[in-house]
Amino acid sequence: MNPRVINVEYKSPYKLKLYFNNNVVKQFDLSPYLQYPVYQALKDEAFCSKAKVWNDTVIWDDMVDFDPDTLYLESEPISD
C-alpha cells in the first residue's frame, strides 16, 4: 500500500499539490485524465478547484475521485 493523501491544494491549470502521510509532497497533473468521460467535469476549473481529501484520497463529489495509489505513483515530487 502506498502512502495516502492528507492534504490537497489546487494549482491552476489542472494540477494538484498533494501532501502524503509519509511527509512527501508531490504534484499530480490532471490533464491526461480529462479525456476520459468520468473526469469531464474537471475541465471546469471552478469545479476542479474544489478538490478535497476524503478517505485518504482526493474527491470532488460523490462521482469524481482518484485512486490513492494512482495519485502517489503518477505524481512528481516537488519541494514544499
Hey, where are the domains in the chain? 5-77
**Would the pLDDT of 1 be above 90?**
no
**Would the pLDDT of 79 be above 80?**
no
pLDDT 10s digits, 62-77: 889 999 999 999 999 9
C-alpha cell at 5: 493523501
Question: What's the pLDDT band for 80 if we cut at 50, 70, 90?
Answer: low
Q: State the Cα–Cα distance between residues 34 and 55, nearest whole angstrom.
A: 23
C-alpha cell at 11: 494549482
End-to-end CA distance of the chain: 24
* Average confidence (pLDDT) over 23-51: 96
* Average confidence (pLDDT) over 5-28: 97
The reported pLDDT for the residue numbered 62 is 84
- Mapped onto helix, strand or coil, the DSSP state of residue 73 is helix
How would you classify the pairing of strands 25-29 and 15-20? antiparallel
71 HSE (CA, 13 A, CB side): 27
CATH class belonging to 5-77: alpha beta
